[in-house]
Amino acid sequence: MLMDRSDFEKLVAEGFGRIPGKFRDKIKNVALVVEYWPSRELLESQGLEEGETLLGLYHGIPSTARGADYGVGATLPDTITIFQGPTEEEAEGDPERIREVVKETIWHEYAHYFGMDDSDIEELPRKF
């Protein structure tokens, strides 16, 4: 059974707030959204197989790849999506574990925004 959506969204807001201010202040033009589950099409587009899922997804242009003309004219925001269902499954429904999984997922997806790949992210210390 899924946690109440508004309670989950509060955990997402809390997780964003735990990103150190020196990084959070540099985040520009990124929408943080919650969806219940990733679609089959999204999973396939990410190369995931049956039984694999996503906890979160960054979609956009990393800050390190944004040129001088980025943002000139109408520029849609990048998105970071946190998927509630897979997060709760990963945490086995434990509220404190859900909080930790959300925090780690947000950290991971914003690291992609800052131009890091998965191997870079795994080497980063967690100090928040």
Give tens-digit pLDDT for 30-77. 999 999 999 999 999 999 988 899 999 999 989 888 887 777 777 788
Architecture of domain 5-117: 2-Layer Sandwich (3.30)
Extract the tokens encoding 6: 């508004």
Nearest-angstrom CA–CA distance, 68 and 125: 31
Summarised one tens digit per residue, pLDDT across range 68-122 is 777 777 778 899 999 999 999 999 989 999 999 999 999 999 999 999 888 777 7
Q: Fill in the DSSP letter of residue 56.
A: E
Q: Does residue 3 contact residue 89 with C-beta atoms inside 8 Å?
A: no
**Residue ranges of the domains in the chain?**
5-117
Output the pTM of the full model.
Answer: 0.88
